[in-house]
Structure 1
Amino acid sequence: MTDDTPSSGPNENVTLPGLLRIDHVGVAVPDLDEAIAFYTATFGLCCVHRETNEEQGVQEAMLAVGDGAGPRLQLLAPARPDSAIAKFLDRSGPGLQQLAYTVADVEAAADALRARGLRLLYDAPKRGTAGSRINFVHPKDAGGVLVELVEPAEGGTPVG
């Protein structure tokens, strides 16, 4: 189509997921400290948040570009050998792992995507960075891309 009119089809009356912005791009790395050092020294990024998410089995850092107002770069390293990030690194090596979007309501976004026939990895949201609530669209349903939905913690500054 040449204009901004949504295409009609079987999903034309289905609610959109309510994406607000690109939240972050996730990169799987084997060593978090080395990756932070590389991105800060090489590209001038600034580490604005760091934590270990025991439930997900991941050590993570959020890096900001410039004034930090835009999307972040999330570095993800395994906290244990059975984590999803460890499995990703074993299968694919270091590199781009996910694209995340900010949403106002992760459950509503997940329901809208399920109504469009997409599979989500979790039945209910899980805890993400800085207390956010997250879910993921299965990469086989999103053109090979792992899509993360991020609802920032209430009252918190969205860090990714």
Structure 2
Amino acid sequence: MNIKRVDHIGIAVPNLDDAIKFYEDILGIKCEGKETVVEQKVNVAFLPVGDTEIELLEGTDENSAIYKYIQKNSGRGGIQHIALNVDSIESAIQEFKDKGYIMLDNTFRYGAGGAKIAFCHPKGTYGTLIELTER
């Protein structure tokens, strides 16, 4: 598996507009777009920082993974995942499975920005939700 870079850091937030305001006003990191990913029940904002992005995530439904994550964290949210950009998502998924790691996604799906994505179960990654992404 060839990991090219950290693609983005996903941060769950209870209110997307308030979070964008903080990142823009206080940190000077400009939001360069928003998107709703209906299948994942999430609103996403993209804030590029060098070769990577901060991805702010707001759940749109009580059944979304982001909404549940925020509820587990006393309504505050926080870093929800780290995404690693790979050459071939199919190969990366297979390599994880071949080495005995649990994947939440056995095949890729499409995420924000049209990227191919798959998540590795945090039980096998020392508690960190790892997203594999191919753009």
Q: Percent identity?
A: 37
Q: Could you say which structure has the higher strand fraction?
A: 2
Match of 1:99 among 79, 82, 87: 82
Work out whether 1:123 is the aligned partner of 2:106: yes
Residue of structure 1 equivalent to 2:8 = 24
Taking the aligned partners of 1:138 and 1:112, their CA distance within structure 2 comes to 14
Helix, strand or coil at the partner of 1:149: strand
Match of 2:65 among 49, 61, 84: 84
Tell me, yes or no, if the aligned pair for 2:93 and 2:106 is still in contact at 8 Å. no
The one-letter code of the counterpart of 1:78 is G
Taking the aligned partners of 1:50 and 1:115, their CA distance within structure 2 comes to 36
Runs of 4+ in 1 over 6 A off after TM superposition: none
Q: Could you say which structure has the higher helix fraction?
A: 2
Q: Normalising by the residue count of structure 2, what TM-score does the alignment of the two structures yield?
A: 0.94
Residue of structure 2 equivalent to 1:155 = none
Rg bigger for which structure?
Answer: 1
Residue of structure 2 equivalent to 1:142 = 125
Helix, strand or coil at the partner of 2:51: coil
Work out whether 1:43 is the aligned partner of 2:27: yes
1:93-128 CA distances to partner (integer Å, 9 max, x unpaired)?
Answer: 411110110112111111111111111111211111
Q: Normalising by the residue count of structure 1, what TM-score does the alignment of the two structures yield?
A: 0.80
| Larger CA deviation: 140-149 vs 104-113 | 104-113
5+ residue gaps, structure 1: 1-16, 153-160
Number of aligned residue pairs: 133
Match of 1:55 among 39, 59, 62: 39
Taking the aligned partners of 1:149 and 1:46, their CA distance within structure 2 comes to 25
5+ residue gaps, structure 2: none
Residue of structure 2 equivalent to 1:34 = 18
The one-letter code of the counterpart of 1:106 is I
